[in-house]
Amino acid sequence: MKIRSAAVILAFVLVLDLVWTERATATAAQSSRNPRIAKDTVQSTETPKYVRVQYDITVEFQGQLIRQRHVNYYFAFQQKCVDVHISVIAPTKADEDIFVAFDRSLRYGS
């Protein structure tokens, strides 16, 4: 069975007492407790618009080792913590270009 790259984009609006930067920090910290997360892939970047957390998960599926790339964008909007989550199975260079374009184009509010 050949695994093809596929992207899923989810957006969550979370009502939390944590500020969005704390939520992102907590996500990055929790990654160390998940044995499926490739520890050397965890990256956290803060920009004026959002905090971006990226990590890869490796799982075995039908005898093949599969890599999933996950990227979360955390920001506050209308006093809510927003988590935009993108995941890609078997990421390619073209997928990386999509992440870069998404990084540049993410907008919210007026």
Is-contact 56 67, C-beta < 8 A?
yes
Which token pair is 77?
């909007």
pLDDT digits (tens, 9 = 90+) for 49-101: 888 989 999 988 889 888 999 998 888 888 777 888 888 888 889 888 888 99
Question: Domain 6-105 is of which CATH architecture?
Answer: 3-Layer(aba) Sandwich (3.40)
Name the percent of the chain lying above pLDDT 90: 11
The pLDDT of residue 56: 93
Which token pair is 101?
């374009």
Comparing 37 with 19, the larger pLDDT belongs to 37
Distance of alpha carbon 96 from alpha carbon 110, whole angstroms: 28
Beta bridge partners of 57: 37, 68
User: Average pLDDT in the 18-22 region?
Assistant: 58
Single pTM value for the model: 0.74
Beta bridge partners of 89: 6, 68
Is-contact 52 71, C-beta < 8 A?
yes
The structural domains of the chain, with segments of one domain joined by +, span 6-105
Distance of alpha carbon 15 from alpha carbon 103, whole angstroms: 24
Name the percent of the chain lying above pLDDT 70: 70
Residue 23 has pLDDT above 70, yes or no: no
Residue 1 has pLDDT above 50, yes or no: no
Residue 28 has pLDDT above 50, yes or no: yes
Distance of alpha carbon 12 from alpha carbon 79, whole angstroms: 14
